[in-house]
Amino acid sequence: MRRAVPYRNNLTRIILISVLFLSHCEKSDTEKEARENREILFCKNITGNSCEPPVIEKKVYYPLSGLNHKGSLRDYFNSIYFSGDTLSFEMRFHSAFSETLLAKWKNQFMVTYSFPDIRKEYPMERVDFSRQSITGFSLLGTILENRYSDHLSQPYRNISVVNITIHFYLHEKKLGERSLTVYLNDLRN
């Protein structure tokens, strides 16, 4: 019977611990770099891989026209949904992240939104990765349906302001968040 050489077991342990430590450090460094070397922009539309001007700071205005004011709030939100208005974002990185790194993030990067008086977070409808940015959007009609989900069967009423917070996660850790106020200017025809 062969006896195990003590240094081999210790060497194996040291290698295993080193690999685990380094993989954790790489993940932490990546998260830190992503937090420090990025700019978050908001806009109404994405063209190609970037926000279409104007960029939104804290408030966004949507002039809405040709909507269904007869029926329920669900009918009204559906007409906004089919008009195609979106709330879009772009997370632009200042340092050169490799396409490989961004490809790895696809399964570990998440963008959600929430409302101040509702504790639930909703995923953005679309998230895309390019060479140095991550972009995405949700349709305004979907955002409103989620905000007023308990009131959808109620008759139409004017809704003019919605406060929303967008959250960014990598490896289930928050990279950041930003709050916006959405103003709906209903231009009845």
Query: Which of 31-45, 78-92, 171-185 is the least confident region?
Result: 31-45
Q: Which two tokens stand for residue 54?
A: 């104007």
Q: pTM here? A: 0.76
How far is the C-alpha of 127 from the C-alpha of 90, rounded, in Å? 10
How far is the C-alpha of 132 from the C-alpha of 130, rounded, in Å? 6
Q: What are the residue ranges spanned by the domains of the chain? A: 1-36, 39-187
Q: What is the dihedral of CA 102, 132, 56, 62, to 10 degrees?
A: -70
CB hemisphere CA count around 147 (13 angstroms)? 22
Q: Which fold has domain 39-187?
A: Immunoglobulin-like (2.60.40)
Q: Which two tokens stand for residue 1?
A: 């019977």
Contact of 162 with 115, CB cutoff 8 Å: yes
For 86-115, what is each residue's pLDDT tens digit?
Answer: 999 988 876 655 566 666 777 788 999 999
For 44-84, what is each residue's pLDDT tens digit?
Answer: 988 888 888 888 888 999 988 778 788 899 999 999 999 89
Q: What average pLDDT does the segment 144-169 reach? A: 93
Contact of 99 with 150, CB cutoff 8 Å: no
